[in-house]
Amino acid sequence: MSSVAVVDSVASVFAQVVPASAAETTFDVPANVVFAVQAVFMIFAAIRVVTTKNVVHAALWLVVVLGGVGLNYVLLQAEFVAVTQFLVYLGAVIVLFLFGVMLTRAPLGVSEDLDNNQKKIGIGVGVALLGVLTYALIESFGRSELTFAAYSGTSEVNTNGRTQALSDTIFSQYLIPFEMLSLLLLAALIGAIVLARRD
């Protein structure tokens, strides 16, 4: 929550400094600085997740990536999803991963035996995929601007309104998928218990 508050206060300060005409269309400089810093951290951490030779360190680098994704959600004004991301991923999934590491008695120190001999194929596929995706994205979206109505408009489109609209959408248009999701979670819970218990 504190990161939300920090971004919020930075945003309100900036909204007073810049001329109204500039603030109406985009909300650029501080958000872009935050974005650039966390993007560098996230990419570095993601590369460490797939290259580090220590299983526990991989889980800890994953924390940086998942936290950065949550920060991205804050930047994109999806606060509810951001808080869910912090709770579910940083709170639950990482702990599950650490339990998985411990229960499978993974080598806790540095281990040379975590990668197979397909490194060249992996790099080739990754770079090719990135090239295709980059080409497609730049072709389709070019320099399209994201507009941030919440900090320049009136209270009608403020951030609380967005969360309210989100809940309205979930519980009207997407009610049946939402209920199916709870059934899926129940099935996954029972399935995991059945698979993991000793009989």
Partner 1 sequence: MLLNQFLLLSAILFSIGVYGVIVRKNGVLVLMSIELVLNAVNINLIVFSTYWGNSGQVFALFTIAIAAAEVGVGLAIVLLIYRNQRSVDIDELDELKG
Site for partner 1 in 89-148 (CB under 8 A): 89, 92-93, 96-97, 99-101, 103-106, 113-116, 118-119, 121-123, 125-127, 129-130, 133-134, 137-138, 141-146, 148
CA distance 150 to 178: 27
* Interacting residue with partner 1 among 6, 37, 110, 185 (CB under 8 A): 185
| 6 versus 138: smaller Cβ distance to partner 1 | 138
CB of 171 to partner 1, least distance (A): 10
Q: Give the total residue count for the chain.
A: 199
**Residue 65 burial (CB count, 10 A):** 19
| 20 versus 193: smaller Cβ distance to partner 1 | 193
CA distance 161 to 158: 5
State CA 125 to chain mean position distance: 23
Residue 39 near partner 1 by CB under 8 A? yes
> x-or-dash pattern for partner 1, window 48-87, by CB under 8 A?
-xx----x--xx--x--xx--x--xx-xxxx-xx--xx--
**Residue 173 burial (CB count, 10 A):** 10
What are the structure tokens assigned to 153, written together? 């408009």
Q: Which of residues 2-31 bind partner 1 (CB under 8 A)?
A: 26-28, 31
Residue 162 near partner 1 by CB under 8 A? yes
Q: Between vectors from CA 57 to CA 101 and to CA 75, what angle results, nearest 5°?
A: 110
Identify the CA nearest to 68 among candidates 51, 85, 54, 92: 85
Please work out the total of residues on this chain that contact partner 1, with binding judged by CB under 8 A: 87
| 7 versus 62: smaller Cβ distance to partner 1 | 62
